Structure 1
Amino acid sequence: MELSNSRQVTLDLERLAGLGLVTQEGGRTAVAEDFRAIKRPLLRTARAATIANSNLIVVTSALPSEGKTYCAVNLAMSIAMEMDSTVLLVDADVARPSVLKVLGLPPGPGLMDVLLGEQADLSDVILKTNIRTLSVVPAGRADKHATELLASRSMSRLLADIAGRYADRIVIFDSPPLLLTTEASVLAAHMGQVVMVVEAEHTTQHAVKEALQRIQHCPNVNLIYNKSRATADAKYYGYYD
């Protein structure tokens, strides 16, 4: 699973900064500072390797439109700024993929194509970006059995392979919402760390509790309180472990 077959793509960093995303040239914005705080305990856990697959981090939410993709991309961008970390960002929300759209990239083959056997290896669908430490795996082609494939043995084998071969890399998965499909919790079960995004003043306490019940078997669960407007500048994010 080497990167020799990966394609090179160029991210428009000025465009991403304009969207409020973390970029290397974006300076010390409020969002950048928030994600510096968010990533630190995740990196400590990943590097300590005291739990299985600690370098695999899934970002999910209870319901759609809570900002999980936005948080997954920002987390990946922030970790990519670390001096000794590389990041692989995987769009695993195969029913409603949006990572490439956020990044301003055209659709292409990805995770689903590997699971369907249409691409021989993950390296065939990896997009190597102009940020040296960041690579992306698209969701890939749509398929009516997408959710079943996420819960398949092929996915389990692929995740074990990723965790083992990329032991020195942080791999971030943008997952489907937990309360929409059972496959989201199945995917989370393979992860060493879970980040659940909760939309401020929108997601009900009942939804949060129900979602957390579905990942109670996960060894490390963190929450991001997203879209908080507690202050004029804090348009997004607060962090709770």
Structure 2
Amino acid sequence: MSIIEKAASRIDQQRQAAAPAGAGQSAAPDTFDAQPAVDGAPAAAHPATPVVDAAAQAPAPAPRRSATRKVELDLERMRQLGMVTAAGGRTNLLEEFRIIKRPLLKRAFTPREPQANPGNLIMITSSLPGEGKTYSSINLAMSIAMELDHTVLLVDADVARPSVMRTLGLPAQRGLMDILLNDSLDMSEVLLRTNVDTLSILPAGTASPHATELLASSAMTSLVKELASRYPDRVIIFDSPPLLLTSESRELASHMGQIVVVVEAQTTTQHAVNDALQRLEGFDNVNLIYNKTRDIPGIEETYDYHYGG
């Protein structure tokens, strides 16, 4: 036997002596692989990584979560400003708005003719700026939010001079105009929930030079119908532009089931009120709130509200 043959025979004998018992049996399934030694370290066993389709391993897309955001109303600040709040106790203002809201709620959910505008769409407006329409809109919304059977959506529809968010001490945000301008924008992306569980807010959104046309558009018609019918217990209050300054209020009124005109006592002239009501000629359910009355001349101004049809 040559030297080479002897060396090969010796190597075979050493391998057989070093082989563990049962080495002649078939290997176990591919549970582990031997990983090559790194930097001179001995190879270590580790779990095998099976080859699979990457697409099959991709996680299923998560369900889309509602983008509705929440804002905190400073209820103590609102109370100090003379607004209706649930924690404000029994005040004359609270009682006045209880009187105001009752006939509005009754008509909001009274069955109507099929072609009639939904009664739960309520527009608050005035003849001129400064008569208290935004103040009345917020107080009416807060009063209805105290009801056990209703929720409220307050819409800032005074798109030329929005004031709901500012009055509440909140920053301006996307809202009504953005939805009308952008078909892909979902209501949940601009709607704001509040710390008053039964009250939500839709801001005016981005100003547009085509506000009148947008409020008169089919998109607006579809939007208000959706708002009116989405929740059977909801009342939608629109803070509207003044009637004598813009054309938007007339277009907005065409969608409404009820209209409330705020009249500032001792300030708004009868001529202005008549002109404003003429703008609403042909609309049903027009009501008046007589605002900022003084019971005794010279005494500090109070906020008594009087309701009339």
Same fold (TM over 0.5): yes
Distance 1:153 1:192 in 2: 17
Query: SS state of the match for residue 166, structure 2?
Result: helix
CA apart distance, 1:145: 1.9
CA apart distance, 1:119: 5.7
1:49 matched to 2:130? The reply is no
Identify the residue that residue 136 of structure 2 maps to in structure 1: 71
Identify the residue that residue 294 of structure 2 maps to in structure 1: 229
1:135 matched to 2:197? The reply is no
Query: SS state of the match for residue 295, structure 2?
Result: coil
What's the TM-score once normalised by structure 2's chain length? 0.74
Percentage of pairs with the same residue: 60
1:32 matched to 2:94? The reply is yes
CA apart distance, 1:110: 0.6
Distance 2:260 2:66 in 1: 31
Give, as a single letter, the amino acid of the residue that structure 1 aligns with 2:221. S
Give, as a single letter, the amino acid of the residue that structure 2 aligns with 1:22. V
Identify the residue that residue 238 of structure 1 maps to in structure 2: 306
The structure with the larger Rg is 2
What's the TM-score once normalised by structure 1's chain length? 0.94
Q: Retained in 2: the 8 A contact 1:95–1:147?
A: no
RMSD of the TM alignment (CA)? 1.7
1:22 matched to 2:84? The reply is yes
The number of residues matched between the two structures is 239
Distance 2:107 2:176 in 1: 26
CA apart distance, 1:143: 1.9
Give, as a single letter, the amino acid of the residue that structure 1 aligns with 2:225. A
1:96-135 per-residue CA deviation (whole Å, 9 max, x = no partner) reads 0000011111111111111110761222111000000000
Q: Which runs of 4+ in 1 moved over 4 A?
A: 231-234
Query: SS state of the match for residue 4, structure 1?
Result: coil
CA apart distance, 1:150: 1.7
Distance 1:188 1:158 in 2: 14
Distance 1:89 1:226 in 2: 20
1:218 matched to 2:283? The reply is yes
Q: Where does the alignment leave 5 or more consecutive residues of structure 2 unmatched?
A: 1-64
CA apart distance, 1:4: 3.3
Distance 1:52 1:142 in 2: 26
Higher RCO by CA contacts (8 Å cutoff, separation 6 or greater): 1
For residue 92 of structure 1, the aligned residue among 157, 169, 179 is: 157
Q: Where does the alignment leave 5 or more consecutive residues of structure 1 unmatched?
A: none
1:166-221 per-residue CA deviation (whole Å, 9 max, x = no partner) reads 33200000000111122201111211000100011111111111111111222211
Distance 1:41 1:63 in 2: 25
Q: Retained in 2: the 8 A contact 1:55–1:167?
A: no
